[in-house]
Structures are given as C-alpha cells and as structure tokens.
C-alpha cells in the first residue's frame, strides 16, 4: 500500500473519528430522546469505521490503530474542517450531517472500486452501515429543507467539506479532550 | 486431536454478548474453521464495525477452543462477507421468539427510508403488520425501533445490512 493510499485512508479515518466524537456530544442533550439514541449510534458506527481504517494503515506502518488515532500531533490529522466544529445548534448539526453523508457516499463508491481487494471490501462493509446514516440525514433534510436557518447553515458549511491541511482552533481543543486520559500515562502504557 | 465438527459445536454454544438468545454460529459470523497441527484457525467476520461485542466474541471463541485442548488463531475479516442474510433460519426464529423482529431479507438494491417506513414489518409479539418505524437507530447499531399499533408493543427490529 503506497503512501498516497495510506493518506487517503487516514483522511477518511480522521474524518470519521472526529465526526464520531462531535456526534457523541449530542448524547443526552438532543431535542428529542430519539435523537439522543440516533446520534449516539451514528457516533459509535463512525468511530468503528475509523478504527477499521486505522488498522489497515497501522499494519503497514508496524504500529497500532490507537497510536494513529491518538498519538499524532493535531496538525498531522487529515480531517476536513467541517467535522472539527463544535456545532450545538440543531440545524447546523443536521446541515453538517446531510453534507457529510452525501460526500462520504461518493468517496465510498470510489473506494469500493479500489484495485486493492481489502480496501474495496472494507469500503463495502462500511457503506452497508452508512446507508442508515444517509436515511437519517435525508429524513431531517426533508423536514427542515424550507427553514431559513437550516438552508443558511448548509451554505455556510458546504465550503468546509473540502478544506483540509489547515485546521480550525476547535480541532486542537477537541484533541486535548480526546487524548487527555491516554496522555495521563506514559507512552506505551497497556490500558 | 480436535475435529472441525467439535469446534463448530463448541462455537455454537457461545451466546451473542448482546442478544444472548442467538449463538455466534446462528449469527453467521463464523465463516470458516480449519484444524491443522493442533491449531484451530477461525475466520470471523464482524457484524457492525463499531460493535463493542466483537472483542468479547473473539475472546470467547479463543477460550472455547483452548478448552478443547487446541491453540486458537482467530482471524478477523474486515471484508464485506457478512450481511444479515448470514443469520441462520434457526437464528431468525430464536430472535423472533424473544421479541426481536428478524431482519428483512436483502434485496438487489440497498434498503431505503421509504421501505423502512412503508413496507410490511411484522410484530414479533402478535404477528400484526400494523407497525410503524419509531427510530432508524436503537440501543445497539444493529437495531431499529418500531411500534405495533395492534398490540401496542414497542419492539426492536434487526436492521437489514
């Protein structure tokens, strides 16, 4: 697996890990109990996808998925800015969800056609689960599509889908929280 | 010397950690068992990638194989070989009997929201198809929540993937 392919997988894995973290922030505070359940479940799936993708890259590099997920400097993450933001306005969270799931679907289609059978197989497996995320996004899009606050959020967030390489300040804050427990012990600690 | 049949029997006694009415063999997550030179090689395909039960399943399989006096090698296959169609007929019936609606069979095209909302989904308690989707998601990634208007019973529906 060459460097370019590894970086593509890391891009997706980082998106899924960071978005999973942000989605989990809705646990217990969503406007409906049903949405506490939905976003918690989506977060769990996204982090599961991140783990599987990290494992492919980690094996190539002779390290662990945890090291890739947590031990890199925030500047080295390859995620897009759209997943980094702490969006605790419902219409913004839904706008991100709708934009991200559509972009992720296109990316997974390309990955499913990969010449590397392992990558194509994992992409197909991930996509089976993502179908349900897309249904959830579609359901909320149908409900909110004529709401000005929602359409404004779509317009504001759309450009951030492709913004990679430079990060928002919110990624560093998230990374501090995300890795706090892991960093509380020396590197190499067996948890 | 342990045989493949003995390994399959042992694995069929391991309950799913989250839905213990079905075994790992009922779920269809054991794809292949090979025995060679005292080593038991198992190809295991996870259901949902984020499922926390995966580690528990893997450890439980290793433990059972060791109890048979063989050395386990559990290979986790992250490919696309598992779908809900791999759940055995016996497994589906056990799910239904304990109040989980088994997954609808896969179709050529991917499942859609309209299907979840409009297709006939049978209540595992009373058999009525007067049920409605309450939530695409449920207590674990593999389940949706539905409500039966006939017997007024909420129930969990295994997602089709």
Minimum distance, in Å, between the CA of residue A139 and any CA atom of chain B? 8
Residues in chain B within 8 Å Cβ distance of A21: none
pLDDT at A61: 97
Give the dihedral sign, CA A84/A90/A95/A100.
positive
pLDDT at B20: 93
Same domain, B71 and B102: no
Is residue B148 one of the residues assigned to a domain? yes
Which is higher by pLDDT, B107 or A106? Answer: A106
Nearest CA in chain A to B111: A131
pLDDT at B37: 87
CATH of the domain at A20: 1.20.1260.10
pLDDT at B52: 82
Mutate to test the interface with A, among B18, B45, B47, B49 (most CBs of A within 10 A): B49
ipTM comes to 0.90
Is residue A190 one of the residues assigned to a domain? no
Q: How sure is the predictor about B53, in pLDDT bands with cuts at 50, 70 and 90?
A: confident
Q: Which domain holds residue A159?
A: 3-183
pTM of the predicted model as reported, rounded to 2 decimal places: 0.94
Is residue A138 one of the residues assigned to a domain? yes
Beta-carbon contacts of residue B20 (< 8 Å; ≥ 6 apart): none
Number of domains in chain B: 2
Minimum distance, in Å, between the CA of residue B112 and any CA atom of chain A? 7
- Indicate yes or no: CB of A132 within 8 angstroms of CB of B83: no
Same domain, B71 and B14: yes
- Across B89-98, average pLDDT: 96
Minimum distance, in Å, between the CA of residue B44 and any CA atom of chain A? 14
pLDDT at A187: 85
pLDDT at A190: 86
Contact A104, A41 (CB under 8 A): no
Number of domains in chain A: 1
pLDDT at B50: 86
CATH of the domain at B69: 3.30.300.130
Same domain, B69 and B123: no
Residue A106 vs residues A99, A100, A110, B108: alpha-carbon distances, Å: 11, 10, 7, 20
Same domain, B8 and B70: yes
Q: Which domain holds residue B137?
A: 98-158
The DSSP secondary-structure symbol of A74 reads G
pLDDT at A27: 95
- Across B149-153, average pLDDT: 97
Nearest CA in chain A to B133: A34
Residues in chain A within 8 Å Cβ distance of B78: 52, 55-56, 118, 121-122, 125
pLDDT at A138: 96
Same domain, B64 and B107: no
Residue A138 vs residues A13, A34, A99, A118, B148: alpha-carbon distances, Å: 23, 16, 10, 30, 24
Nearest CA in chain B to A128: B161
Q: Which residues of chain A have pLDDT under 70?
A: none
Rounded-to-integer distance, Cα A71 and Cα B6, Å: 43
Is residue B84 one of the residues assigned to a domain? no
- Indicate yes or no: CB of A49 within 8 angstroms of CB of B83: no
Mutate to test the interface with A, among B47, B50, B109 (most CBs of A within 10 A): B50
- Across B45-64, average pLDDT: 91
Residue B78 in contact with partner chain A when CB distance is under 8 A: yes
- Indicate yes or no: CB of A55 within 8 angstroms of CB of B112: no
pLDDT at B152: 97
Residue A138 in contact with partner chain B when CB distance is under 8 A: yes
Rounded-to-integer distance, Cα B139 and Cα A171, Å: 29
Residue A121 in contact with partner chain B when CB distance is under 8 A: yes
Rounded-to-integer distance, Cα A46 and Cα B53, Å: 16
Nearest CA in chain A to B145: A34
pLDDT at B23: 96
Is residue B121 one of the residues assigned to a domain? yes
Is residue A68 one of the residues assigned to a domain? yes
Residue A170 vs residues A107, A176, B11, B41: alpha-carbon distances, Å: 25, 10, 46, 45
Is residue B91 one of the residues assigned to a domain? no
Pick from B76, B110, B139: which residue ends a domain? B76
Is residue B71 one of the residues assigned to a domain? yes
């Amino acid at each position: 697996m060459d460097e370019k392919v590894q970086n593509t997988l890391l891009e997706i894995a980082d998106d899924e890990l960071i978005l999973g973290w942000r989605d989990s922030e809705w646990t217990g505070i969503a406007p409906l109990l049903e949405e506490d359940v939905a976003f918690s479940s989506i977060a769990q799936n996204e982090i599961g996808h991140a783990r599987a993708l990290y494992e492919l890259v980690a094996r190539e590099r002779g390290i662990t998925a945890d090291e890739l997920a947590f031990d890199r400097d925030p500047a080295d993450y390859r995620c897009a800015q759209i997943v980094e933001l702490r969006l605790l306005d419902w219409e913004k969270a839904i706008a991100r969800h709708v934009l991200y799931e559509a972009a992720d679907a296109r990316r997974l289609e390309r990955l499913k056609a990969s010449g590397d059978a392992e990558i194509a197989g994992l992409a197909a497996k991930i996509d089976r689960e993502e179908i349900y995320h897309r249904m959830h996004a579609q359901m909320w899009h149908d409900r909110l599509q004529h709401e000005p606050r929602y359409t404004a959020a779509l317009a504001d967030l759309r450009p951030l889908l492709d913004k990679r390489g430079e990060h928002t300040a919110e990624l560093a804050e998230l990374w501090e929280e995300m890795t706090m427990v892991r960093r509380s012990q020396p590197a190499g600690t067996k948890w | 010397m342990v045989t493949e049949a003995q390994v399959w029997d042992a694995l069929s006694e391991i309950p799913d950690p989250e839905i213990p009415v079905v075994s790992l063999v009922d779920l269809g997550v054991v794809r292949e068992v090979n025995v060679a030179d005292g080593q038991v090689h198992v190809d295991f395909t996870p259901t949902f990638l984020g499922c926390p039960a995966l580690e528990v399943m893997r450890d439980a399989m290793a433990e059972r194989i060791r109890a048979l006096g063989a050395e386990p090698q559990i290979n986790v296959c992250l490919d696309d070989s598992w779908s809900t169609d791999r759940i055995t007929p016996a497994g589906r019936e056990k799910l239904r009997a304990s109040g989980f609606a088994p997954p609808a069979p896969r179709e050529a095209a991917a499942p859609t929201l309209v299907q979840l909302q409009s297709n006939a989904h049978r209540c595992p308690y009373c058999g009525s198809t007067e049920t409605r989707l309450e939530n695409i998601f449920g207590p674990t990634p593999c389940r949706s929540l539905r409500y039966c208007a006939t017997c007024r019973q909420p129930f969990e529906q295994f997602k089709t993937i």
